Amino acid sequence: MTGQTPPGQGEPLIRLTDVTRSYVMGGVANTVLSGVTLDIAAGEFAAIMGPSGSGKSTLLHILGLLDRPTSGSYRLRGQETGTLSDDALSHLRNQAIGFVFQSFYLIPYATALDNVLLPGLYSDAPRAALTRRAHELLEKVGLTAQARHKPSQLSGGQQQRVALARSLINNPDLILADEPTGQLDSGTSREIMELLAAINRDAGKTVIVVTHDPETAAYARRQILVTDGRVARS
Amino acid sequence: MWRVLSRYPRLLWRLQGVAGQALLAHKARSFFVVAAVAMGIAALTVIVASVDGARRKALEIVDFFGPDAVLVLGGDIENRPVGQRTNTLTWSDARAIARSLPGAYAVLPMRSVRAVTLRYGNKNHEAPTVVGATENYAATWNWPLSEGRDLSADDIAHGAKVALIGDAPAKALFGDASPIGRTVMVKNLPVQIVGRLSYRGFTGGGSDVSVDDRLIMPISTLTQRFNLDRNYFRGLRVRFHDPDLIGVHMENLRALLRHEHKLGPTIPDDFTIMSASEILKFLTAFTGGLVAFLGVTAGVAILVGGFVLANLMFLGVSERRVEIGLRKAVGATSGAILIQFLSEAVYLTLAGAILGVGLGVGLGESLSRLGMLELRLSPKIFVLSLAAALAIALAFGLRPARKAAGLDPIEALRGGGE
């Protein structure tokens, strides 16, 4: 287990302070995020919106500990993440964050059940407890009958529901969804967003959705608009 | 990686399951790696088995011949000058050696008759060799009798019609019954079997005639009854006290025989002295070529297996970028990815090793049945093959596995995006 400092008194789940991110390409520095300061409290359901190229994906990667800020501070659960090693970040991602992606990203040769179990493999939880929980989660997303199916045997909506169950297997505080409805029709999109809303409401998870679709964003109680690498409105 | 190993034994165990699942999902590719590695390991198996077989045979020959003995044959068998006689060894030579060669304690004249028909009742057996020997044949050749007695000095002195029978003719003529006391017709001579030599079970230098297929008679009897030349022997066996000095003994023996045969300084030897090590040299030259060929084959095949592994793994890593990116995103460390891919490599090569040992044993059996190789299969082969397989997996799998481990999850996931 990573040595975690307890969350500071009254400190929000996520605190970004003056976060910048720039890439050097061909000798030219390209700034994607220029000074993002943002708090997101535990239990929020937020949508990060913005046109493509606005930096919202980069922001999501930083929030998901997949990328590090060039400068500035990111505190998650009251813990400064900038000083953590790569392995410590992996562990924190595993325990504290659940991911949902636009293209589902299920392992094609594994069953729905094994896909749900995937983050559990890299945790310390015992196998039996994980399997029990995976079955519960599959039941919650309505896929008990499809537990042994491969992703290719599932519809897009079903695949995304497997991904939702997967994001919850290690009981994380934070769910990050990157365009979760980007490849779904509007009916299926509504089902997925209802499920995300239920996860936020019933399980008390903090949910952050990145989207450019206003209908999807409408499910969130808070809209954060990113333009030109800055938070324009939160 | 070591952090993963030390902190999460459970993870390490789980990664084996992950690796196995991934291999089953890519059966065709896995098969090619397994097949390529198996070829290399098969060649390795044959070469190790044949080297071991040759060594065992060599030891048997030394043991049979005796490390303290030399064999003197009439004539220079390697490069005989035109007109040189092969009947050059006489009783007087034998006596001179016994009398005046330092270190020699036994001098045994030998004579043999080839292809003699033995008959008992209505059964016939063609013995390739009937040996004429002096007393205590079994003792001097370190060849225990399974029953009966050895040839005695009396037998030799009186030209007794007795014989020791080898295992092969004994089986052919008497089956499971005891041959002791029975009378066998050797050509037209009735001979009583007094002893039976125990089973030796190997073929002598270069030929495929078993040493068990022989009959031993007193040299005097053989000479008289088969009308052999009474003055000359085919060979003389000389034994020395100190096997370490065998080189010196051989030089002394050569000088003595040259003196006995009155050979001037310019005249070549009219005899050949052989020790066990010389017979070995001859045998090694015979099998060495095949072993070298197999060695090169094994090396190339293992190398090819390694390259196939590396290439297919690189291909797999690029095809499975999304999987790798996803695993990292949900919490797999670089070490966990490295171990997963290395484990996949190890399982493939181990499967190749097991298949390869099977193939190699089969191939070796057919080669030895064709008489091209003497094989000896031992657990060492299995251990060596597993070690070689592990080495291939680590040597050729490490770079692709590190490539997988080093992938940036964002890049990897984007690579699989639309």
Question: ipTM > 0.90?
Answer: yes
Of B24, B323, B336, which is closest to A107 when you measure between CB atoms? B323
Residues of A in contact with B406 (CB under 8 A): none
- Picking from B71, B87, B77, B74, the residue whose alpha carbon sits closest to that of residue B271 is B74
Which residue of A109, A130, A152 to mutate against B (max B Cβ within 10 Å)?
A109
| Interchain contact, B330 vs A108, CB within 8 Å | no
Topology at the third CATH level for domain A14-233: Rossmann fold (3.40.50)
Confidence of residue B8 (pLDDT cuts 50, 70, 90): low
The three-state DSSP-derived secondary structure of chain B is: CHHHHHHCHHHHHHHHHHHHHHHHHCHHHHHHHHHHHHHHHHHHHHHHHHHHHHHHHHHHHHHHHCCCEEEEEECCCCCCCCCCCCCCEEHHHHHHHHHHCCCEEEEEEEEEEEEEEEEECCEEEEEEEEEEECCCHHHHCCCCEEEECCCCHHHHHHCCCEEEECHHHHHHHHCCCCCCCCEEEECCEEEEEEEEECCCCCECCCCCCECCCEEEEEHHHHHHHCCCCCCEECEEEEEECCHHHHHHHHHHHHHHHHHHCCCCCCCCCCEEEEEHHHHHHHHHHHHHHHHHHHHHHHHHHHHHHHHHHHHHHHHHHHHCHHHHHHHHHCCCCHHHHHHHHHHHHHHHHHHHHHHHHHHHHHHHHHHHHCCCCCCCCCHHHHHHHHHHHHHHHHHHHHHHHHHHHHCCHHHHHHHCCC
- Picking from B174, B175, B239, the residue whose alpha carbon sits closest to that of residue B183 is B174
pLDDT at residue A4, rounded to an integer:
47
Of B21, B323, B331, which is closest to A93 when you measure between CB atoms? B331
**What whole-number percentage of chain B has pLDDT above 90?**
23
pLDDT averaged over chain A?
92
Task: State how far the Cα of A16 lies from the Cα of A230, in Å rounded to an integer.
Answer: 12
Q: What is the mean pLDDT of residues A15-40?
A: 92
Mind telling me how many Å the CA of B11 is from chain A's nearest CA? 6
Please identify which residue in the block is written with the tokens 């949902």: A100
Q: CB distance from A110 to chain B under 8 Å? A: yes
The one-letter code for the residue type at A232 is A
Tens of pLDDT, residue by residue over A79-137, are: 999 999 999 999 999 999 999 999 999 999 999 999 999 999 999 899 999 999 999 99
Residues of A in contact with B24 (CB under 8 A): 109
| Interchain contact, B333 vs A122, CB within 8 Å | yes
Residues of B in contact with A66 (CB under 8 A): 329, 409-410
Mind telling me how many Å the CA of A209 is from chain B's nearest CA? 17
Q: What is the mean pLDDT of residues A181-204?
A: 94
Of A86, A108, A119, which is closest to B330 when you measure between CB atoms? A119
Mind telling me how many Å the CA of A125 is from chain B's nearest CA? 9
Residues of B in contact with A178 (CB under 8 A): none
Instruction: Please name the residues between 1 and 40 in chain A that touch chain B, using a CB distance below 8 Å.
Output: none
Q: What is the mean pLDDT of residues A37-65?
A: 93
Q: DSSP letters of A103-166? A: T----TTS-HHHHHHHHHHTSSS-HHHHHHHHHHHHHHTT-GGGTT--GGGS-HHHHHHHHHHH
| Interchain contact, A109 vs B21, CB within 8 Å | yes
- Neighbour count for residue B334 (Cβ, 10 Å): 18
Stretch among A173-187, B317-331, B359-373 having the lowest mean pLDDT: B359-373
**Phi, psi (rounded to 5 degrees) for B44:** -60, -45
pLDDT averaged over chain B?
83
Instruction: Please name the residues between 54 and 73 in chain A that touch chain B, using a CB distance below 8 Å.
Output: 61, 64, 66-67
Residues A169/A158, Cβ–Cβ less than 8 Å? no
Mind telling me how many Å the CA of A87 is from chain B's nearest CA? 6
**Burial call B136-148: b when 16+ CB within 10 Å, e when fewer:** ebbebbebebeeb
Q: What is the mean pLDDT of residues A155-179?
A: 96
Mind telling me how many Å the CA of A128 is from chain B's nearest CA? 13
Instruction: Please name the residues between 398 and 417 in chain B that touch chain A, using a CB distance below 8 Å.
Output: 409-410, 413, 416-417
If you average pLDDT over each of A195-199, B11-15, B409-413, which comes out highest?
Answer: A195-199
Mind telling me how many Å the CA of B22 is from chain A's nearest CA? 7
Q: CB distance from A148 to chain B under 8 Å? A: no
Using N-to-C axis directions, what is the helix angle for A156-168 and A127-140, rounded to 10°? 140
Which two structure tokens, joined as six digits, stand for B202?
Answer: 């190997």
Return the number of CB contacts < 8 Å for A and B.
72
pLDDT at residue B231, rounded to an integer:
77
pLDDT at residue B284, rounded to an integer:
67
| Interchain contact, A121 vs B11, CB within 8 Å | yes
Q: Are strands A97-100 and A174-178 parallel, antiparallel or unpaired?
A: parallel
Please identify which residue in the block is written with the tokens 């490069």: B79
Mind telling me how many Å the CA of A83 is from chain B's nearest CA? 17
More confident of the two residues B367 and A137: A137
Tens of pLDDT, residue by residue over B314-357, are: 999 998 999 999 999 999 999 999 999 999 999 999 999 999 99
Nearest CA in chain A to B323: A107
Which two structure tokens, joined as six digits, stand for A114?
Answer: 């094994």
Confidence of residue A5 (pLDDT cuts 50, 70, 90): very low
- Picking from B293, B232, B242, the residue whose alpha carbon sits closest to that of residue B85 is B232
pLDDT at residue B203, rounded to an integer:
62
Q: CB distance from A182 to chain B under 8 Å? A: no
Residues of A in contact with B337 (CB under 8 A): none
Residues B249/B239, Cβ–Cβ less than 8 Å? no
Q: What is the mean pLDDT of residues A159-177?
A: 96
Which strand ranges, in their side-by-side order, compose the sheet holding A174-178? Answer: A97-100, A174-178, A206-210, A45-49, A222-227, A230-233
What SS3 class is residue A228?
Answer: coil
Is the pLDDT score of A6 beyond 60?
Answer: no
Q: Are strands A14-25 and B123-133 parallel, antiparallel or unpaired?
A: unpaired
**Burial call B41-72: b when 16+ CB within 10 Å, e when fewer:** bbbbbbbbbbbbbbeebbebbbebbbebbbbb
Partners of residue A30 on adjacent β-strands: A23
Residues B270/B89, Cβ–Cβ less than 8 Å? no
Q: What is the mean pLDDT of residues B402-407?
A: 95
Using N-to-C axis directions, what is the helix angle for B334-369 and A86-96, rounded to 10°? 100
| Interchain contact, A87 vs B335, CB within 8 Å | yes
Residues of B in contact with A130 (CB under 8 A): none
Domain range summary for chain A, segments of one domain joined by +: 14-233
pLDDT at residue A75, rounded to an integer:
96
Tens of pLDDT, residue by residue over B58-104, are: 777 777 777 788 888 887 766 656 666 677 888 888 888 888 888 88
Q: What is the mean pLDDT of residues B164-173?
A: 90
| Interchain contact, B21 vs A122, CB within 8 Å | no
| Interchain contact, A107 vs B326, CB within 8 Å | yes
